[in-house]
Amino acid sequence: MIKRFLAFLLILFLFTNTIYSQSNDSIIINKIFSEALADNESYENLRYLCKYIGGRICGSVQAENAVSWIESLLLNLEIDSVYLQELKVRNWVRGEKEYAYILSKIFGKQEVNVAALGGSIGTGKEGLMGKVIEVKSFEELFELGSEIVNGKIVFFNQPLNPTYLSTFRAYGEVAKFRALGAINAAKLGATGIILRSLTLSNDFYPHTGIMFYNDSVKKIPAISISTNDADLLSSLLKVEGELDFFFKTTCNEYSEKISYNVIGEIKGNEHPEKIILIGAHLDSWDIGEGANDDGVGIIQCIEVLRLFKKLNINPSNTIRFTAFMDEEVAQRGGKKYAEIVKSKGENHIAAIEVDAGGATPIGFSVNADDSVYNKIKNWSDKFLKYGLYLIVKGGGGVDISFLKELNIPLIGLITDSQRYFDYHHSANDKFENVNKREMQLGSASLAMLVYLIDKYGL
Ligand SMILES: [Zn+2]
C-alpha cells in the first residue's frame, strides 16, 4: 500500500514537474519575444552597419571597420569573452563604376545597368566590344560550338523558375551560370559573358556574386545585367538578329589581406566546454549595404546575446556568436573557424546560421540525423505559437557547412523568401528593405531555439 502511494507521489511529482517546466518555458519564451519586439537598439545597430559602414566586401576598409565595430558592440554587452580569429582573405576590388551599352541598329546606343561579377578580371580602360550570342543553358552553349561562339560575348539569359515556392531553390538552379559561365564560354573562345541577374524581380538593379576561373582556360571578363535590360537585349536580338555590345570594367584582384572572424561568448554555468554556436556573415557585396545579406543575421545573433543577458537567462552551455568574415568570396572565415574547432577539439552541441534575410521567420532547417531532427520537430507546438511552422531536413548555412564532417548538427533559420532575391547582392540590399518587426521576430525565434537547445540538449 505504502509502495503504491509512494509510486503515486513520484508520478505526481514528475507530472507536475513537467507541467511546471513547460509553463516555465512559455513564460521565458514569452519574455524573449516581448523584449525583442519592444527593443529599438538592434534596428539602430543595423542602420549603423548599413549606412555608416556600408557594403563590406572582404579585404575592404569597410570590412575592417565592421570588424572593430562588432567587437566594440560585443564588449559593450559585457559578456564573458570577446576575441578575434585571424585569417587571410582575397582582395578583389571593383574599381570604377561599370559602363555598358547595346548598339542597336534601330535605336542606336542603349545604355544598360551592369555590374562586374565578383572575382572577374576587368576589361581594361578600352573596354570590350563584341557580338552577342544568347543562350539559356550550358547544353545550348556547347551545341552552338566554338565556330559560332568564338570571338563573341555569351549572354546567359535563363530566368529563375517562378513556379518554385522557395526562391532559394530557384536561385540554386541558375547560380551555376554565374559560377561557371565564364569557364564554359571561354572553352569555346568567347571573349566575355553577360549574366541575366539572378532575381525574380523585374527591375534595373544588376546583381553581383562570386564567379570562378580555372587554370586550363583563358580568363574572360564577366558582368551581370539587370533583368529589365536583359529583356531589352534579348528582344533586340530577336528583332535585329545580330547586335554589338560594349562593356567596361576596371575590377582587379590584389594581394591577400589579413582579416578576422569576431567572436563573443556567454559561458555556460554547467558545461562551459559545450558550445551552441550562432553565426552570420559580416562581409557583404560592395554594391549594396549588406542589409538583408547578411547584416540582419549579424544583428539578430547579437540580439540573442543581449536578450539572454537582459532577461538573466543563465545558459548551462556556452552560447557563442561568430561573425564570419568572407562568406561571399572564398569562405575563408568558415574554413578557419572549422580548422580551429578541429585543432582544439572543441565540443559543439549545435551550429546555427542566420543567412536568409530579415523577412518574417517561418521555421528552421535541420541538417543532422533523425534523432536530432525529431527532437527539434517535437518542439513544434512552442514554435507554432510564434508562426514558425516549417521544420525541414537539410540546409544549415555556408559558413557552418565546414563543421559538417565533425558531425555537428547544423541548423538554419528559414524566412519568408519571396522578396529575398529582389535585394540579394544588389544596390537594392539596403537598410530600408529590412522591416524592423520582421527582423525582431527573427531575433526572438533564434533566441527561443537557443534557449530550448540549451535546456533540453539535442
Ligand atoms: Zn549571405
Distance 54 CA to ligand 1 centre (A): 15
Give residue-wise pLDDT tens across range 135-171: 999 999 999 999 999 999 999 999 999 999 999 999 9
Contact yes or no for 229/204 (Cβ under 8 A): yes
**Confidence at residue 158, expressed as pLDDT on a 0 to 100 scale:** 98
Q: For 30-92+255-456, give the CATH class.
A: alpha beta
Q: What pLDDT shows up at residue 69?
A: 98
Cβ atoms of 50 and 295 closer than 8 Å: yes
Q: Coil, strand, or helix at residue 76?
A: helix
Domain-wise residue ranges, the chain: 30-92+255-456, 95-250
Cα of 246 to ligand 1 centre, how many Å? 31
Beta-bridge partner residues of 86: 260
Residues of the chain with pLDDT under 50: none
Query: How far away, in angstroms, is 363 Cα from ligand 1 center?
Result: 18
pLDDT score at 23: 78
CA of 376 to the centre of ligand 1 (A): 24
C-alpha grid cell, residue 378: 517535437
30-92+255-456 and 95-250, same CATH topology: no
Going across the sheet that includes 390-393, the strands are: 81-93, 252-266, 317-324, 271-281, 347-353, 410-415, 361-367, 390-393
How many whole angstroms from 118 Cα to the centroid of ligand 1?
14
pLDDT value at residue 10: 58
CA of 313 to the centre of ligand 1 (A): 29
Numbers of helices and strands, H then E, in the chain:
12, 16
Per DSSP, the three-state class of 188 is coil
User: 249 CA to middle of ligand 1, Å?
Assistant: 24
Contacts of 122 by beta carbon, 8 Å cutoff, 6+ apart: 95, 116, 221, 249, 250, 251, 252
Residue among 252, 262, 15 nearest 118 (CA): 252
Q: How far apart are CA 48 and CA 38, in angstroms?
A: 19
DSSP state at residue 106 = T
CA proximity to 94, closest of 59, 113, 118, 112 = 118
pLDDT of residue 12: 55
Identify the burial level of 159 via C-beta atoms within 10 angstroms of its C-beta, where 0-12 means exposed, 13-18 middle and 19 or more buried.
middle
Q: 97 alpha carbon to ligand 1 midpoint, in Å?
A: 23
- Report pLDDT for 5: 61
Residue with cell 565533425: 406
CATH number of 95-250: 3.50.30.30
Residue from 30, 32, 27 nearest 300 by CA: 32
